[in-house]
A = this chain, B = another copy of it.
């Protein structure tokens, strides 16, 4: 997807410049994983034009394999974003209708072939939100992965503005959740996508640890295929200042991560994807689940300091933060 951002803290349309980058849930996760040293590929559908070429080139830059991207009729999805500040929230305008991906369906991807050498499949709740055929393609991918023994993670990623094709998220997402091994979401995602509530106050940002333990247990109970459920916890003090942490239940125990106070947010779009990328890396490389969640949270914390959707950090940088050395001293 093309991401068009007004510079700095300008409002959309204020000046004559837009920063063009590329982004989108699954792509962002692929970039994270490639940055941590994994072989990562990205599968989507794009039109046959120079803008789409530039998108593929950008992903290649991060060593993401894009050879399986489908080129077909349709548009390139676009989203406009302006960065909020203080009491003014950030704003996203989606322009994704009729994108190549929205027009794609299950018959357009030969999942058993595409996934045959894969170890892990990651999907987000944004894909099934954009069209009925996309929802069907998502389920087809997950079924093919299960057949091949490929692990599946699903980021619920509820976006109210996108669910316009006829069904509500809560009518669709449960059947995806039922196919996943790892589920990621925040409280609102669980509520809007799975209908599972937690007894806390999102707006205030106050978080009760026991409420989240209960939430993750409920999810694991209702979706017995799940090995693990992770919940991200964003406390939004202002558009520039969020506290960021996560918790996780791996069927055995409930963990709460470090909590990072991020007081000068540079770009928070892609923070959730950075968490997913970090979590998959953690689960693939660590034996201690607690370290996986700490890696994911630290990776995502660093994403907030980097312009653009992509998390341009190495595993070493994340690990340096994990023990909590966040003093920001110059390295020289």
Q: Which of B16, B238, B329 contacts A328 (CB 8 A)?
A: B238
Interface size class of chain A, counting residues whose CB lies under 8 Å from the partner chain:
35 or more
The reply to whether B159 and A85 form a contact with Cβ atoms under 8 Å apart is no
Chain A binding surface, main DSSP class: loop
Contacts A11-B306, A238-B327 known; A57 to B51 CB distance under 8 Å? no
Closest to A7 in B: B17
The reply to whether A262 and B332 form a contact with Cβ atoms under 8 Å apart is no
Contacts A17-B18, A18-B20, A304-B86 known; A327 to B236 CB distance under 8 Å? yes
Asked if A252 is an interface residue, CB under 8 A from chain B, the answer is no
The reply to whether B18 and A51 form a contact with Cβ atoms under 8 Å apart is no
Chain B proximity mask over A19-62: 1 for CB below 8 Å, otherwise 0: 11100000000000000000000000000011101110110111
Q: Which of B9, B21, B55, B87 contacts A307 (CB 8 A)?
A: B9
Min CB–CB distance A11 → chain B (angstroms): 5
A50 to B61, CA, bound (A): 14
Asked if A12 is an interface residue, CB under 8 A from chain B, the answer is yes
Asked if A237 is an interface residue, CB under 8 A from chain B, the answer is yes
| Segment touching B, from A89-97, A115-123, A148-156, A216-224 | A89-97
Asked if A8 is an interface residue, CB under 8 A from chain B, the answer is yes
Residues from chain B with Cβ under 8 Å of A93 in the complex: 49-51
13 intermolecular pairs with C-beta atoms under 8 Å apart: A12-B50, A12-B51, A17-B19, A51-B93, A75-B97, A78-B78, A84-B330, A85-B305, A86-B263, A86-B326, A87-B305, A88-B306, A238-B263
